[in-house]
């Protein structure tokens, strides 16, 4: 095919891949091969051999193992270094010989899995908007993780971004290009801050959830994933706020650290059908399902029970009083006197 193209022009200049662009501009990324840099954990410095440059960094090194290629991203006036680590590996893949010490990152943890499951119980998780996660364990334990502060943060940033959009329109009318660019920079900063805040909420929830399930003796989790929720029930929460994929990834990765197996379950109709009788329910008032057979149940608990039913073909007959938690920017805090440190013994009233 190439021989038939006599007018084919030769490429004399190599350009970065097209996906290294953002907003029509090239992203500033520096990629460094695995053996062309060293990490000094004591002095907190990354040494780039080819440029003989020392770059100080802040924070701690989490993982111990063979380092991969280094990527340095420039975002505004900040630099972010990303180092992939093959956790626990200190030998070469082909020969099995010990690697050079300069190719090993000496972080805090040498293995991903921290604990082994304490029991063989099964749990199911239903994800939502107002209730970020509703957990049901086969022994009847129920955990609620409320997301009211997450919504509050979103509304706050939404209001500030809307005000910046108004200022941007006014700057365009009077043709103030510098003012417009300043507004756009601030708008981008707020979006980035909102993204980091939501990611922090997800990780806080996942960490607390994994530790709680481990203490309850859970070894297997069935996690309901709302496929195509943004397309079928699109609103500003399901499209803009809740990135379910990131929340699911955070939960799955944290559960893996405690040796808990996780299986994703398609949660179609889990909120429309009664978990005990399999008939369609009426959701009135909001948050409560009314079964035609005469019983009522929290809608998120009903969804979690249906997810467990899809996963292991069993239903929990007796439910305990729920443990309620609030996801905050400072971690996860109990509600109504629940003991977040010992969820297996103290229940919310």
Q: pLDDT per residue over 294-327, tens digit each?
A: 888 899 999 999 999 999 988 888 899 999 999 9
Complete DSSP assignment for 137-181:
ETTS-EEEEE-HHHHHHHHHHHHHHHHHHHHHHHHHHTT-HHHHH
Q: What is the tens place of the pLDDT at every residue in 132-142?
A: 999 999 999 99
What is residue 343's predicted lDDT score, i.e. its pLDDT?
Answer: 45
Q: What are the pLDDT digits (tens) for 85-134?
A: 999 998 888 888 888 988 999 999 999 999 999 999 999 999 988 899 99
Q: Is the pLDDT of residue 51 over 70?
A: yes
Query: Using CA atoms, how far apart are residues 164 and 170, in angstroms rounded to an integer?
Result: 10
Res 241: pLDDT: 54
Q: Please state the rounded mean pLDDT for residues 11-28.
A: 66
pLDDT, tens digit (0-9, with 9 covering 90-100), for 154-186: 899 999 999 999 999 999 998 899 999 999 999
pLDDT, tens only, 222-252 = 999 877 655 555 566 655 556 788 899 999 9
Residue 121 tokens, joined: 């119980």
Kindly report whether the global pTM for this prediction surpasses the value 0.85: no
Above 70 in pLDDT, residue 197? yes
Mean residue pLDDT of the chain comes to 85
- Whole-angstrom CA distances from 143 to 251, 319, 324 are 15, 11, 6
What per-residue confidence (pLDDT) applies to 318? 87
Q: Which percentage of the chain shows pLDDT scores above 70?
A: 85
Domain ranges of the chain: 21-106, 121-148+202-335
For residue 152, give every residue at least 6 positions away whose Cβ sits within 8 Å of its Cβ, in sequence order, or none. Answer: none
Lowest-confidence region among 155-159, 207-211, 270-274, 337-341: 337-341
Taking residues 10-15, report their average pLDDT: 57
User: Which CATH fold topology does 121-148+202-335 show?
Assistant: Nucleotidyltransferase; domain 5 (3.30.420)
pLDDT of 338 over the 70 cut: no
pLDDT at 37 over 80: yes
How much is the pLDDT for 5? 52
The token pair that represents 142 in the structure block: 């129920």
Q: pLDDT by residue (tens digit) across 111-122?
A: 999 999 999 999
What is the C-alpha separation between 286 and 93, in angstroms, rounded?
57
């Amino acid at each position: 095919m190439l021989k038939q193209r006599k007018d084919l022009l030769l490429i004399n200049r190599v350009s970065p891949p097209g996906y290294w662009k953002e907003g029509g501009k090239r992203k500033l990324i520096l990629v460094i091969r695995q053996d062309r840099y060293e990490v000094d954990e004591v002095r907190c410095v990354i040494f780039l051999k080819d440029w003989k440059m020392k770059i100080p960094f802040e924070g701690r090194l989490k993982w111990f193992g063979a380092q991969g290629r280094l990527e340095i991203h420039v975002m505004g006036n900040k630099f972010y270094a990303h180092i992939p680590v093959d956790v626990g590996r200190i030998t070469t893949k082909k020969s099995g010989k010990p690697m050079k010490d300069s190719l090993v990152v000496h972080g805090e943890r040498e293995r991903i899995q921290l604990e082994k499951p304490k029991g063989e119980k099964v749990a199911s998780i239903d994800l939502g908007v107002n209730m970020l996660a509703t957990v049901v364990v086969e022994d009847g334990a129920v955990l609620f993780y409320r997301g009211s502060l997450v919504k509050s943060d979103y509304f706050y940033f939404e209001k500030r971004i809307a005000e910046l959009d108004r200022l941007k329109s006014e700057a365009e009318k009077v043709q103030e290009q510098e003012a417009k660019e300043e507004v756009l920079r601030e708008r981008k900063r707020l979006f980035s801050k909102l993204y980091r805040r939501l990611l922090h909420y997800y990780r806080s929830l996942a960490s607390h959830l994994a530790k709680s399930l481990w203490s309850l003796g859970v070894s297997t989790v069935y996690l309901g994933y709302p496929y195509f929720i943004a397309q079928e029930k699109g609103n500003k929460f399901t499209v803009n706020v809740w990135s379910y994929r990131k929340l699911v990834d955070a939960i799955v990765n944290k559960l893996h650290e405690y040796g808990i197996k996780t299986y994703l379950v398609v949660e179609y109709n889990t909120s429309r059908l009664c978990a005990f009788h399999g008939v369609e329910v009426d959701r009135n008032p909001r948050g409560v399902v009314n079964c035609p057979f005469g019983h009522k149940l929290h809608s998120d608990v009903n969804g979690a029970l249906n997810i467990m039913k899809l996963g292991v073909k069993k239903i929990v007959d007796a439910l305990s009083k729920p443990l309620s938690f609030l996801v905050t920017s400072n971690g996860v805090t109990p509600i109504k006197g629940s003991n977040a440190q010992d969820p297996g013994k103290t229940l919310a009233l």
